[in-house]
Amino acid sequence: QVQLQESGGGLVQPGGSLRLSCTGSGNFFSFYDMGWFRQTPGSEREMVATITRRGITNYAESVKGRFTISRDNAEKAVYLQMNALNPEDTAVYSCNAGQDVNGKYYQTDYWGQGTQVTVSS
């Protein structure tokens, strides 16, 4: 079991950067894969980036080369460094604890409340 809380969202100009943080509580944080997801009105929630409990990462094609996910199990935290942001990145970003099954990420019901990222000129 884990409880999650995101922070770091805000308003940024196109081409700018933001660093999102997700901190967890509970004794089993390190057992989970972790992921960042985002959603805009009228769209499906999409995977942005995931990181396994061993540190293997996976990215959506749309953010590859611009975003970096990392984790610090000692601090029970996962981060998303976002560079070269564009208006299409505007969304509510949420972190999720995932079950790792043969290297594949499966969502659980453990979500943070989300943090708003707005990219606009």
Per-residue pLDDT tens digits of the chain, which is 121 residues long: 789 999 999 999 999 999 999 999 988 899 999 999 999 999 999 999 999 998 999 999 999 999 999 999 999 999 999 999 999 999 999 999 999 998 889 999 999 999 999 999 9
Query: What is the predicted pLDDT for the residue at 27?
Result: 83
Query: What is the predicted pLDDT for the residue at 103?
Result: 81
HSE of 41 in the Cβ direction (CA atoms, 13 Å)? Answer: 0
Residue in the structure block whose two tokens are 């089993």: 28
**How open is the CA angle 37-41-45, to the nearest 5 degrees?**
25
Query: What is the predicted pLDDT for the residue at 2?
Result: 84
